[in-house]
Amino acid sequence: MMRRWVVMAAVLGLVASACTGGNKPSGNNSGVMTLTIWQGYTQIEANWFNAAIKAWDTQNPKIQIKPLYVNNDNALQKLTVALQGGKPPDITYQYGSSLPQVAAAQGLVDLTSWSKSSAADWNDFIPGARDAAVYQGKVLGVPALIDNLAIVYNKSLFDAAGLKYPTAQWTWSDFRTAAKAMTDPSKKQFGWSYPMDATEDTVWHYVPLLWQNGAAILTPDNKKAAFNSPQGVTALETMTGMAVQDKSVFLDIQNSPYTGLFNSGKIGMLVTGPWDLGSFPDVHYGVQILPGVNGDHQSIAGPDMWCVFDNGGGRAQAAEKFLTWLTSAQQVRTEALATGHLPIRLSVVNDQGFIKEFGKKFPGVDVFAANLANVKQARPVLTAYPLVSQALGNAIVSAMLGQSDPKAALDKAASQADAALAQTG
């Protein structure tokens, strides 16, 4: 399950002028309403989803669900075409990063009232997932999936270096010391690996450390860059100290298969998500939450969501009813145990009996589940964010390569981000 945050800046104008005629109130002579839902599940995910649909259809004979497979990477573009033709689905799976574009679509249902209902139990969703579903003060999505970043480490390399395994109290100084101890240039072995393609993948590995230092990506009003604050500079200096001074970081400039390098014992630690665990059959690995700053171990998530379109005839209300059921605590437990997806509800994450069962079935994923308690913020949800991310990604790469001083690199990126924010918001 590869969870890369996909930026689709090319669809910025998308659907503001699209028609909303779409699907007419449907039903047949028996009064059955059929809702169309777009989703991108495959393999074990598809098996779970199909079983869930079957269970719903059995329990709700008057509201049937018709799933249609749409690759998630293409979901925003396909939605654009469907809206232009006046035929949006009733429910669609979308990346959280797409919300500013989806928000421009006519017919998108404002779920704010739904979120205030007792049935929705909105405050039980992981805070980072809730934040990602809100745009300009409105709830426009229902959390569908969440992940986070933690340390995945090679126990054998730790043992060989005489190091104790990471703990939940680790600081970044502890992380740096361990990375340096496991680095051996003669073996082309590194303590840590960092993605250097300047995309959002580069950025979101930096953001947790930024937040832990008390900094922010943007000012509270989202009008100016804030990542070049003294705390933001300190965060980047922590990373460049490892990359430039210690040379303990494998700088993945050419999108090398870091999973293969870790699996072959060439990297001591990764900062990655639960989707990678299945790629390490040859590693005796462990999982631990991120190092912290003054006890703050914040992580970051890339939430996805369900969006609803109003096609008339009570279909939107029926869609809300279905999503309430699909994202209930009971169904979240079923999904997690079937697929390995992290629970999107706090009540499930805090159920220690469930977490124990979850970790037994998917070794290491229980730590990622518990780590959701450290997901306390979301990246800004706004149209200009892809441009902000691009500027920040280039700054991180320049500093990590030793080509720029961290402060100078972040100041330059902040200037570029401010220009983008002023232009597009």
Q: What contacts 167, CB < 8 A, 6 or more positions away?
A: 288
- State mean pLDDT over 204-223: 96
DSSP-assigned states of every residue in 79-92: HHHHHHTT---SEE
Better-scored residue on pLDDT, 30 or 317: 317
Q: Is the dihedral of CA 153, 155, 161, 167 positive or negative?
A: positive
pLDDT, one tens digit per residue, over 113-138 is 999 999 999 999 998 889 889 999 99
Instruction: Provide the token pair at 272.
Output: 């990655």
pLDDT, one tens digit per residue, over 377-418 is 888 888 888 899 999 999 999 999 999 999 999 999 999 999
pLDDT, one tens digit per residue, over 40-62 is 988 888 999 999 999 999 999 99
Which domains does the chain show, CATH number per domain? Answer: 9-145+304-374 (3.40.190.10), 150-300+380-424 (3.40.190.10)
pLDDT, one tens digit per residue, over 135-153 is 999 999 999 999 999 999 9
* pLDDT exceeds cutoff 50 at 22: no
Residue 39 CB neighbour total at 10 angstroms: 21
- Model's pTM, two decimal places? 0.81
For residue 257, what pLDDT is reported? 80
pLDDT, one tens digit per residue, over 298-329 is 999 888 999 999 999 999 999 999 999 999 99
Annotate 201-217 with b (16+ C-beta within 10 A) or e (fewer).
bbbbbbbbbbbbbebbb
Instruction: Provide the token pair at 415.
Output: 């200037």
